[in-house]
Structure 1
């Protein structure tokens, strides 16, 4: 156990220090006082044992010690080792009592006690002490009391600074957690907006097609087609209602300054433009798209684009200088597989827990029933792998 850890352990268990200290001073005073001083025995024991509560009730402990020593000076005209309890109590009052008036009052009691000590403890065999003896004893006792009070005040200031630093650290941690929650909410809001754009785009197509079919059926010379007019009109009406409701529900997630997006942007077909932009930023990127281009749902196509975009953004931010990336997209009848690899140093960086790129990508992929894995590569660098099924999306 290190020195700092031992100190912290003892600070959390103050009685392990205060009880032995109080008992030691009490025994020391009793041994030196000797027999035949019944009142002295009781007073010294009371004064010293009160130090057990010097941290939790510093003002009470100081008052008990001061009153007990004031009673003790009546039968005894000499300083005793147990009188150190007064200095300990004064130190504790200055260190642990938050009331400034009480701390200054303790200093005043110490000054009064020093004057009493100068007058009482230099009187031997009834002789009145001379000015020199009084001044010496007063100065010695006052200096010791002032030193104890000053040390306690320094202790109190240190404890206050530590408390302020701890409060500041807790506040910073709360603000950081709040920022993380806000960032996560913004990421989810972005996903929700994109899903809204996908749904809105699809419903807009439904509305156009349904209206066109209804128009054609209504004017068809074949009477049988007239029966489909009602159904087609219902489709158009339902699609319009769904589109309106979707816009109303998700509208609260939109940034008022972001404008209205009429249709989702980005897809596998736009990866060339995305890669070109990354190359312009100074990162060499190789793009390979394998397989025959297939019709895919707009949402799945957009999710694939966002995965590559976020992965390349992480390469720019974390891979380090002179890092390159390879993007591989495989299109099959069963799934769309995306691999983004780099040869940088991002795999060795420490995660500060503030990023939301990987969780955001996982959420996008999970929406379409896919999986995403990300981590360091065996040969160095970082790799992001995403697989999204296409069979069930049609």
Structure 2
């Protein structure tokens, strides 16, 4: 880029940052062009121009004031127009001829008022300027033909309309920019909400997986420790179960955390990771629980229907979490029951045990079941279901959830 072009761009940026200075330069430019022409031109002693007074110092002073008022045309367009109108009327009354600076200043003032003020103020100023312009034409000492009168009035009206259209166009683009900014903020808010929801889902999944499998592994490890001396075969079987459960837990954790992978690995991750568990995997879950020594029975009532994928996962995780709590808190001799009730529209899941119940844990302060219970409520509420959690009549603890079969 040449130094000249760079300098022009710098000067243009300086003018854009200082609009009043730019308007002052515009006024000075009009004076530099118009004043010499006003004083140097020869007025004939006969004809139309003979009726005008010869320009003098008073004429030049009024033209300078009228023209330099344009320096405030953007900040105070209506007062500037009034000053220019007053100057134009003074020149007409005293018989001075029209000149380039004052005529251009009047048109620029009409345009500036329409472009920088609202409709009410610009219309009022425009009417006042238009009327003063007509009065000035009528008061000229020379006759004005109808064609000139109509063309001059059309010029003034056109300048006002041009300024008004520019204001409307500027307001339209400002509204578009504001709307784009609002949409961008809304998209950012939606993205943050989606990330928060995804983190909550991952946290629930990880809690369910870790709590259940670690509880099973802990119970099996305790059993193996107690019988390793007198029954090594059973101890080895318990250790094999621990290994299998651990591998299953790692596989599920890998699947859940896989959503955090980069897009580059997404296709490969989708091929490697197993699908989400559902009620079809309930038998395997109950087998794992029974291997810990907890007696679990399953009843299915009604005609089994296929729920939506989300309800399928949520129901499985609910049963998994409830049985995990039973393993942790119900006691060694506890028994558990899992019931599935299918209707045309709903699936009801019940998990009950006859142990101590998790209500005793909050009282004695030995553990905090809050995350698991909150996760249950979140899962059921996410699919429009209902959840009841509390002690059973006759002892133990119960969890009852109703899911709509359609998400």
Q: Radius of gyration: which is bigger?
A: 2
TM-score by length of 2: 0.48
**Normalising by structure 1, what TM-score?**
0.49
